[in-house]
Amino acid sequence: MNAVPLRDLAVRWSVSEHCQLRCQYCLPAHGGWTMDRREYLSAQEIGWLLGALHRAFGVRKLRFTGGEPLLRQDLPELVERAAGLGIPDIALTTNGQLLAARAMELRRAGLRRVNISLDSLRPQVFAEITRHGRLERTLAGIEAALAAGLHPIKLNMVVMRGINDAEVRDLLEYGLSTGCQVRFLELMPIGVAQAGFAHRFVSSDELRWRLMGTGEWAPLNGEEASSSRDWSVRDASGRQTICGFISPYSHPFCNGCRRVRISADGRLTGCLARGHALPLRPALAAASQGDLGPLASLLEEAFAMKRGVMFRAGARSMAAVGG
């Protein structure tokens, strides 16, 4: 892969490794944390680092992830700081359990759009996948996001054979009825999901084949670096939505990828397929004194991780790397 210019970055910032849920593909039933909350970057540190990144290199897209980012009470402040820097596209990935009470506040702070995990529309299955999450809370979060004017709202289902793969038509129908976009994600052999991966994995090609009889489908031309292959779907009654397939295992999308990931404790990762993480705190200290050289060197090293990479299993949890 050719070197990627250090401009127009897409940053995924995991502001909390911790989560109140323990989804089967993300965390073990007990334990699994690698960080102490006291190690998390503060809102001020995140603001400084974002400012340095944006001024020097241009942050085109910023996504706050986790863990569960809504566990941070200062999340609206983080969004407001990012919006104040002029970052044009600010998004959030959440399990939605706490979103109902905070959607409007986040919208006012400058949040543009939201991705919400919705792995089942059946309360019992939802509880089994998330280990005691409540479906009605996530559905309330979706309703609040719609009312707040967040757009687009993307509903993410990690598809697992024998657990929720029979619900893919149901989720597409829910998207058509609400106007939310739906995205089906391939299970990735990372962390706890490595166990049972062989018999739980469902490819995006198989899912698309299953769904194609539902209405009229038209492929959409997306960015080369986009992780999702998107289709416009219209049913017989004229309802329309976008259905995306994220296929890191069967159709890796490494070429042209401009994403970098930053962990809650300030480590930079260029690729999910690489376990190596680079400490940002020393570069943050230098940037606060006006020296952007160490930060540029770290970004170059992070992008170098992407060259020649094909997806492979990893031991780190999804919560630690921000999904």
User: 174: which 2 tokens?
Assistant: 């829910």
Would you say how long the chain is, in residues? 323
- The most distant pair of C-alpha atoms in the chain lies apart, rounded to whole Å, by 60
Q: Are the CB atoms for 183 and 228 separated by under 8 Å?
A: yes
Which has the closest alpha carbon to 121: 168, 54, 82?
168
* H or E stretch at 266: none
Q: What is the pLDDT of residue 309?
A: 53
- Give tens-digit pLDDT for 85-94: 999 999 999 9
Beta bridge partners of 232: 218, 242
Average confidence score pLDDT of the chain: 89
- pLDDT, residue 30, reads 85
Contact 249, 185 (CB under 8 A): no
- 116-135 pLDDT, tens digit per residue, is 999 999 999 999 999 989 99
pLDDT score for 323: 57
pLDDT at 263 over 90: yes
- Name the phi and psi angles at 117, rounded to 5: -75, 125
Say if residues 7 and 55 touch (Cβ distance below 8 Å): no
The answer, yes or no, to whether residue 23 has pLDDT greater than 80, is yes
Domain 9-321, second-level architecture: Alpha-Beta Barrel (3.20)
> Helix, strand or coil for residue 4?
coil
Rg (Cα) of the chain, in Å, rounded?
Answer: 19
Reply yes or no on whether the pLDDT at 319 is more than 90: no
- Determine the pLDDT at residue 3: 47
Collect all residues with Cβ–Cβ distance below 8 Å to 259 and sequence separation of at least 6. Answer: 10, 11, 12, 225
Contact 191, 314 (CB under 8 A): yes
Q: Where are the domains of the chain?
A: 9-321
Across the range 51-73, mean pLDDT stands at 94
Strand order through the sheet with 89-94 = 216-219, 228-234, 240-246, 181-186, 153-159, 113-117, 89-94, 59-66, 9-16, 259-262, 267-269, 278-279
Using DSSP, how many helices (H) and how many strands (E) does the chain show? 11, 12
Output the pLDDT for position 2: 41
Q: What's residue 281's pLDDT?
A: 86
Q: What is the pLDDT of residues 142-172, one digit of tens each?
A: 999 999 999 999 999 999 999 999 999 999 9
Give the chain's end-to-end CA distance (angstroms, integer): 23
pLDDT score at 320:
56
What integer pLDDT is reported at residue 126 of this predicted model?
98
Residue carrying the six token digits 């905070």? 102
CB-based burial, 242-253: b 16+ in 10 Å, e otherwise: bbbbbbbbeeeb
DSSP 3-state assignment of 63? strand
Please report the pLDDT score of residue 1 as a whole number: 38
Q: How many Cβ atoms sit within 10 Å of the Cβ of residue 314?
A: 19
Looking at residue 4, what is its pLDDT?
A: 47
More confident of the two residues 111 and 31: 111
Phi-psi region of 215 (alpha: psi -120 to 50; beta: other; left: phi over 0): left
Q: For residue 144, which of 78, 82, 70, 77 has the smallest C-alpha distance?
A: 70
- 3 state SS for 83-106: HHCCCCEEEEEECCCCCCCCHHHH
pLDDT in tens, 218-239: 999 876 667 899 999 999 999 9
